[in-house]
Chains A and B, each alone.
Chain A
Amino acid sequence: MELTKAVELLKVLKKQMSEYHNNYSQLSEKLYGQHDKSIAEFVRDLSTEATGEEHKERGPSI
């Protein structure tokens, strides 16, 4: 009985891990892909992400 319950939990775990890995992969692409960028570039990219367009004027809204 306990084993059946554990196996059901494993199925839930597998689904959760799959979603978690997808989200982490997207994040790592964004975050670690910018690892070598300066803080100024990083902040500007965050802002671009927020507005969906390139800022023409100085600075993002943080």
Chain B
Amino acid sequence: MDPTGLTSVDYISSEKIQQHMLQVNNEITQLLELAKDPRKYGELIEKMDPTIDKVDQHVMALQARLTEELDRRTKEFETAIKALDNPATMFGSEPPDFLSSADVAKWRKLAASRGVTRHLTGFKKSLIDGFKNEMSKQLHIEKLTEQNITIRRILDKIRQTLLI
């Protein structure tokens, strides 16, 4: 379990994710409300540090869960093409039915020609890279990762500004 108290399973439930996001957003809003009243500056400064920590843990947890899920999918993909690990298992094997026609043709050619290990390794790498690239592109993962980094930079700037 991570410091936010959320588990991997919770991140599969969009309701739990939404609840946690709402809670974090509310805490930032509360700080901005306190900032409107100079009499509440003491309270604002007091609450700033724990809120910043909470936001930090929250975005790190979201990123960790995302990485975990992407790694899980990549491992599944690797398992589905594990015949490529060995010329003996590759010989005469059938390609997984989710490959493109071009990749199916390459697979069959290698399977028929008792492909040498380095050719199999190269083909396996190209399939995995292609899978990761497509996943990243279609799910807009880079954008999300960049936003995560930006948020953590802002948190650092706030800490530096207030020396907390």
| Mask of A1-37 contacts with B, CB within 8 angstroms, 1/0 | 0110111011111101111110111111111110100
By size class, the interface of chain B is: 35 or more
CA gap between A57 and B98 in the complex, in Å: 10
B2 beta carbon closer than 8 Å to chain A? no
A14 contacts across to B, CB distance below 8 A: 25, 28-29, 32
How far does the Cβ of A1 sit from chain B's closest Cβ, in whole Å? 9
A-B contact count (CB 8 A): 139
CA gap between A59 and B101 in the complex, in Å: 6
B98 contacts across to A, CB distance below 8 A: 39-40, 43-44, 59-60
How far does the Cβ of A6 sit from chain B's closest Cβ, in whole Å? 5
Interface secondary structure of B, over-half rule: helix
| Mask of B112-144 contacts with A, CB within 8 angstroms, 1/0 | 000000000000000100110111011111011
CA gap between A46 and B133 in the complex, in Å: 11
A25-B21 contact in complex given A10-B35, A12-B154, A43-B77, C-beta closer than 8 Å:
yes
**Cβ contact within 8 Å between B73 and A39:** yes
CA gap between A62 and B140 in the complex, in Å: 16
The one of B35, B102, B139, B151 in contact with A30, judged by C-beta atoms closer than 8 angstroms, is B139
